[in-house]
Amino acid sequence: MSYLANNYNRRKISFKRGKGSFLYSSKGKRYLDFVQGIAVNSLGHSNSHLNKALSYQSKRVWHVSNAFQIPEGEKLAKRLTKKTFADSVIFQNSGAEATEAAIKVARKYFYSKKKPYKNRILCVKNSFHGRTLAAIHASGSKKMIEGFGPKVPGFDHFIYGDHQSLKKSITKKTAAIMIEPVLGEGGIKVIPKWCLKGLRRICDQKKILLICDEVQCGVGRSGKFFAFEYSGIKPDIVPIAKGIGGGFPIGAVLMTKKVASGMTPGTHGSTFGGNPLAMKIGNAVLDKIMNKNFLDNVKNISNYYLKELNKIKKEYPEIIKEVRGLGLLIGLQLHNSQNKFIKLLEQNKLLTIRAAENVVRILPPLNVKKSEIDISIKIIKKVCKNYK
Ligand SMILES: *Cc1c(COP(=O)(O)O)cnc(C)c1O
């Protein structure tokens, strides 16, 4: 019996140790971990560079209040803005907090511009922005909202791919469109470049803000630092989380100078957000990821992996419907429910996780080796071969 509440459907497996792409179970079995905490452990398990940073900072100072200067945070913010669209950063502890902070920034911007009526956020129906009260209503998923009423107001939704529904939903009360450049939980759906460009154009025409939720697809996961970079657009606000901490909980919202102008002292805060320990680790993650060779390698491995997966699809078109993804955010869409397939992969010592639309989500660490990709290909082939 468990003393944990029953809000997860947990698999009956636990781990005592991890190294790189591998996890070792309590029963001594080795698994190739292509979940990596759901795109969190960007450098794999127990990375020596991150271990050093953690150990170094743990002996100096873990936590001080944001009432004081935090040099490690200044450094991380500078690095996150220097090569990106952003001019400033607010640190949080998780993805949901980061998306909520993004919403607050958008609303506060129009409030400070004497347009307080512009406060509604337009989101994709059945997207994913986290599990806090506002975030579930931003997601617009009936399943996530059920039982958690009353409804949090201020969110409108449009159907992904439906331009009429998008245009109709923009009113003079709309403050921002919030969108995941790759719908992660929604089934690894990559929003086409022209579509993101179109959204940017609409936002410019209507003088509203564009929020790109890069909590899952950001920080190198896509093969570029941000997934939206593929389309050449510049958003106004970008929440990030998962990959930036390499396993340590960090969230952040990046924004332009223009929209940051509303966030004056006292308007927003977080007790833990941006503490020295977290910031030291975030910087250590960037030491590796903010490196041209590193991201080129993600792209190369991704090209290879997608090609191999498409070969498997070609061999088993009755099982695999589509191979989707960008960088190392990969989905195998099956014709039928993916649960059994994921279980079979696990029995063959490959860990993956589901996403919507019958998708098997595959999330290797960003520093995965080609030989490890090859192990996974072998296992996926074997499972396909023996599949009912
Ligand atoms: C995971 C995720 C979130 C929520 O992150 P948490 O850390 O679980 O709160 C928000 N947006 C997207 C796109 C995500 O994938």
Concatenating the DSSP letter of every residue in 192-204 gives: PHHHHHHHHHHHH
165 has pLDDT over 90: no
Indicate which atom in ligand 1 lies nearest the CA of residue 241.
7
Q: Is the CB of 21 under 6 A from ligand 1?
A: no
Q: Is the CB of 128 under 6 A from ligand 1?
A: yes
Rounded to the nearest angstrom, the distance between the alpha carbon of 356 and the centre of ligand 1 is: 15
Residue 379 DSSP class: H
Indicate which atom in ligand 1 lies nearest the CA of residue 132.
9
pLDDT for 309 equals 98
CB 127 within 8 A of CB 110: no
Indicate which atom in ligand 1 lies nearest the CA of residue 95.
5
In the block, tokens 């993956």 appear at 352
**From atom 5 of ligand 1, which residue's Cα is the shortest distance away?**
95
Residue of 189, 215, 272 to mutate, ligand 1, most atoms within 8 A of C-beta: 215
pLDDT grade for 350, boundaries at 50, 70 and 90: very high
Instruction: Please give the C-alpha separations between residue 337 and each of 144, 354, 388, in angstroms, as whole numbers.
Output: 20, 10, 13
Mean pLDDT of 125-140: 97
CB 363 within 8 A of CB 216: no
**From atom 11 of ligand 1, which residue's Cα is the shortest distance away?**
129
Rounded to the nearest angstrom, the distance between the alpha carbon of 155 and the centre of ligand 1 is: 17
What sign has the CA pseudo-torsion 144, 147, 151, 157? positive
pLDDT for 338 equals 97
Residue range 322-336, pLDDT digits in tens:
999 999 999 999 999
pLDDT for 388 equals 81
In the block, tokens 């907090």 appear at 97
pLDDT grade for 83, boundaries at 50, 70 and 90: confident
29 half-sphere exposure, CB direction, 13 A CA radius: 12
Instruction: Please give the C-alpha separations between residue 17 and each of 12, 30, 97, 219, in angstroms, as whole numbers.
Output: 16, 10, 29, 25
Mean pLDDT of 98-107: 98
Rounded to the nearest angstrom, the distance between the alpha carbon of 131 and the centre of ligand 1 is: 8
Mean pLDDT of 307-319: 98
**For residues 227 and 167, which has the higher predicted lDDT (pLDDT)?**
227
Q: Is the CB of 361 under 6 A from ligand 1?
A: no
Indicate which atom in ligand 1 lies nearest the CA of residue 251.
7
3-class state of residue 155 by DSSP: strand
Q: Is the CB of 181 under 6 A from ligand 1?
A: no
Q: Is the CB of 243 under 6 A from ligand 1?
A: no
pLDDT grade for 291, boundaries at 50, 70 and 90: confident
Residue range 50-68, pLDDT digits in tens:
999 999 999 999 999 999 9
In the block, tokens 């909202």 appear at 145
pLDDT for 163 equals 85
pLDDT for 247 equals 98
Mean pLDDT of 107-120: 98
Structural domains present in the chain: 15-46+293-386 (3.90.1150.10), 49-289 (3.40.640.10)
292 has pLDDT over 90: no
Mean pLDDT of 355-369: 98
Those residues whose C-beta lies under 8 Å from the C-beta of residue 119, and which sit 6 or more positions away, are: 107, 110, 111, 154, 173, 175
Residue range 209-255, pLDDT digits in tens:
999 999 999 999 999 999 999 999 999 999 999 999 999 999 999 99
Rounded to the nearest angstrom, the distance between the alpha carbon of 315 and the centre of ligand 1 is: 34
pLDDT grade for 204, boundaries at 50, 70 and 90: very high
pLDDT for 199 equals 96
For the chain, percent of residues with pLDDT exceeding 70: 100
Q: Is the CB of 184 under 6 A from ligand 1?
A: yes
